[in-house]
Chains A and B, each alone.
Chain A
Amino acid sequence: MSSLDGVVSELRWSAVRSSALSYLLHAVLAAAAWILAVVIAARFFPLEHAPRFEAIGVPIAFVAVAVAWIAVRPGSMKLMRTADVRLGLKERLSTAWERRGQDGPMDAVLRQDALEKAARTRLAAAYPVGLRPGEVWLTLAVAVAAVGLVLLPNPMDQLLAQRRDDRAAQAQAAETVAAAQKKIAAASPAAQVDPQIQKILQDARARIASAPDPRAALQNITPAEQKLLQLSDPQTPARASTAQNLANNLSATNGGRAASQALNASPSQGARAIRDLASQLQNLSPQDRAQLAQALATAAQQAKDPEMAASLQQASSALASGDVSAAATSMDALAGQLDSLQQQESNDQQIAAAINGLEAARQQLASQADRDAAGAGASASPSAGAGGSAGSGAGGSGNGTGNGTGSGNGSGTGNGGGGSGGTGGQGSSGSGAGQGTGAQSTERVYVPAAPIPGQSENDPAPLAPGQDVPLTPYDQVIQAYEQVALDAADQSLIPGSERDLVRSYFSSLGEQGGGR
């Protein structure tokens, strides 16, 4: 050995060689322990990205161990001391190294003695290359445990899948609300888009997206719908009715026929036509004025909106008394009320579109919430679909659709006439369609073997040869459907007004059915 520096270099290389393998094993142990910890945690807590966590931990473990390896590298003095102890050099190397810069009486002979002893010793033996069996076994055990737990199925996977589905359903519902927003914005001129509706939809969308689960998201829809309903004017139907009556009455007059047609087209066109009529009152013959005054008076009597009734009455009175100017003024006021009606109807259309969007989102969320409650995960459980309810119409025709989930099919027929609509079919899935045909009000109506909800749905009893299709009295079917619909309405998160609609619908059907 030529010098103490040479001794240090050799010891340092030996130490690096010795510790590298040991630290590598420690890195593997740390990585395996990390993976094991994540895997165990993932079995108790639903970790969304457990594999990613595991993957991230491995390089971090190696880097951390590498940093530790570099940081705790022994210094020269430490190397010498360790070599002294492990090689039995009686502190020769460390003393000589400590006094390497000294030139005392004994330093030269001390260095010589230390170098001679070092030369006769295998310095690498101070830092033997090898692994502790305990550490090796520990690493193996941790690694095997980690791999085993990774390969075994994780009970949290089902919950995670459900969460993913929940998020997807919430995102889809939020998208549906966003689509409703866009639709409203696209359907109306920018100036007529109610910012409050957009704000309500925007808030609902954000709450749906940020809700912890679909059930919580559902709770945001009803308040939003109620806010939207508060934006609608309750007088709108009365005004629309008044405008319709006015159009009907004006259609029989010479001067107001054009205005009648315009009113039938839209309130705004009607308003323009009324203004035109008001400006041309001077040109009308006395007979036409009287005819017009009569029509206005009739419309005023039929009017359900007090303001419009007043305007109509004033215009009628003015015309009857020959005060054309006052009549024109009243008719201009009436035109303004029609413009207002136009705006209200437009607003109501936006509200309706918004509520439709929210309802669509509700269905998506409710569907996912039901799956969550059933614990069925992503797969839908077969269930009875709601039967389509037939519409009712004065024309004696109706149709209805029903939606269901699961498998199966449904069909239905509806009988219209006399104000009664057909009933939709019921199936365990799919859609049911109802068709209405006219019928006399005194006729007893039957539907062909439509299964009553709650009874066997998928397997109707096969008919014997020659046996006719079994018929069920209409009122029984309606009662059964009413019960199911009302139960469903009571159990669902739908606005009270919508629930009342369902109730009134079946009430009206009951009244009509009572006459059969």
Chain B
Amino acid sequence: MIAEEPRLDPGRVTELAQSLETELARLIVGQKALVRDTVITLIAGGHMLLEGVPGLGKTVLVRSLGQALKLTFARIQFTPDLMPADIVGTNIIREERGRREFQYQAGPLFANLVLADEVNRATPKTQSALLEAMQERTVTVGTETRALPVPFFVLATQNPIELEGTYPLPEAQLDRFFFKSLVPFPSEEELLEIARRTTGRATPQLKAVADDKAILAAQEVAREVPIAEHVLAYAGKLIMATHPQRTELETVRRYVRFGASPRGLQALVLAGKVRALLEGRYNVAFDDLVAVAHPALRHRVFLQFEAEADDVTADQLIDEVVEKTDKAKAAG
């Protein structure tokens, strides 16, 4: 068998990720878990849903990412009157040398990094347009389908408060997001550091540590990280344990309406692979799966009303699933 050489040295991926995290940390105070989740999603080739109140640095994060990776960046503020054409682009009539013809004008989706701010404020029609683009990485205007630039990374945000007048994303669309990360409010110390960095005369400028090609290469390398069968089996057990009909956990049976989908398993394993690389390893460990379980599964575990009534969150259930799923037993 002829060995298939990776396009990028696995060690370089680790360096790239670490340097990216270091560069982002120059501008973003704290939020290490968020930055790590963002990097993992980027290298895994997925999209990310951020949930947090306004003003926590979500936009800064995406913009900084664009700067650090020399990628194009676009921000779309989702509102109820936002139409699909506003994001995917539209054909407009142009007059050129006396001739009028339709010419396609690309929308803001045609960027490497797209920040879909407050995505739950747009109508389902517009949300669907965005989510189709996320899944297919193409947009269709009229009869013509156009490919989006690669890498294509959507970072959507939604506000957990002020839910009036919003259109919550349906389960099927939530499943399209690779990760759902929560943006925590910074600590007091971090708040002070934010103030110090952003209220001075100059804001730190990030330097590019990689380009689109490096990102694409890293994405390919990540998929080649091996995972042992018993570790994969553990990932499968985690997914199965989120299903009320197939789990032995009483809380899951009681509070969960639907468990994680196969996409959840894909996200778990792929995120585990990326995390292994970021940790300087060339194999997926149980710890990798445990570390990415929350962002990979929290938006894929759909709760009963009873959970809301009892103030039980998906994260709590995932904690229990992880705690109660025996690694050795899962591995057989």
CB within 8 Å of B: which A78-118 residues: 81, 85, 90-92, 94-96, 98-99, 102-110, 113-114
A94 touches B228 (CB 8 A): yes
Give Cα distance in the complex from A90 to B276, angstroms: 10
Q: Which of B5, B230, B282 contacts A81 (CB 8 A)?
A: B230
Q: Is the CB of A91 within 8 A of B283?
A: yes
Minimum CB–CB distance from A240 to chain B (whole Å) comes to 96
The reply to whether the CB of B295 lies closer than 8 angstroms to some CB of chain A is no
A106 pairs with B10, CB closer than 8 A: yes
CB contact list, B288-332 vs A, under 8 A: 327-328, 331
A104-B4, A106-B225, A110-B282 in contact; A94/B230 too (CB < 8 A)? yes
1/0 contact string of B220-235 vs chain A (CB within 8 Å): 0000111111110000
State the CA gap A81–B3 with chains docked (Å): 26
* Chain A count of residues within 8 A CB distance of the other chain: 21
The answer to whether B287 has its CB under 8 Å from any CB of chain A is yes
Whether B282 pairs with A109 at a CB distance below 8 angstroms is: yes
Across the A-B interface, give the 7 residue pairs with the lowest CB-CB distance, nearest first: A90-B285, A95-B283, A95-B228, A110-B282, A91-B285, A105-B6, A103-B1
A102 to B1 alpha-carbon distance, docked (Å): 9
> Does B284 lie at the interface of the complex (its beta carbon under 8 Å from any beta carbon of A)?
yes
Residues of A contacting B: mostly: helix
Please determine whether A91 and B231 come into contact, CB atoms closer than 8 angstroms. Answer: yes
Q: Are the C-beta atoms of B283 and A96 separated by less than 8 Å?
A: yes
Would B1 and A106 count as touching, CB distance under 8 A? no
Tell me, rounded to whole Å, the shortest Cβ–Cβ distance linking B274 to chain A.
13
Which B residues lie at the A interface, using CB under 8 A? Answer: 1, 3-6, 10, 224-231, 279, 281-287, 327-328, 331
Q: Nearest residue in A to B279 (C-beta to C-beta)?
A: A90
Give the docked Cα–Cα distance between A85 and B5 (Å): 30
How far in angstroms is the closest Cβ of chain A from B149? 27
Tell whether, in the assembled complex, residue A113 and residue B286 are in contact, meaning their CB atoms are under 8 Å apart.
Answer: no
Taken together as a complex, chains A and B put the C-alpha atoms of A104 and B3 apart, in Å, by 6
List of B residues within 8 angstroms of A109 by Cβ: 10, 282
Cβ-defined contact, B328 with A106, below 8 A: no
Determine the chain A residues whose CB is within 8 A of the CB of B226 once the complex forms. Answer: 95, 99, 102, 104, 106-107, 110
10 contacts between A and B (CB under 8 A): A81-B230, A81-B328, A81-B331, A94-B230, A95-B228, A104-B4, A104-B224, A105-B3, A106-B10, A109-B10
* Given A95-B231, A105-B5, A106-B10, 19 further pairs, Cβ under 8 A: A81-B331, A85-B327, A90-B281, A91-B283, A91-B284, A91-B285, A95-B226, A98-B228, A104-B4, A105-B4, A105-B6, A106-B6, A106-B224, A108-B3, A109-B10, A110-B226, A110-B282, A113-B282, A113-B283
> Shortest CB–CB separation between residue B250 and chain A, in angstroms?
27
Query: Chain B contacts of A98 at CB under 8 A?
Result: 228-229
| Closest A residue by C-beta to B225 | A106
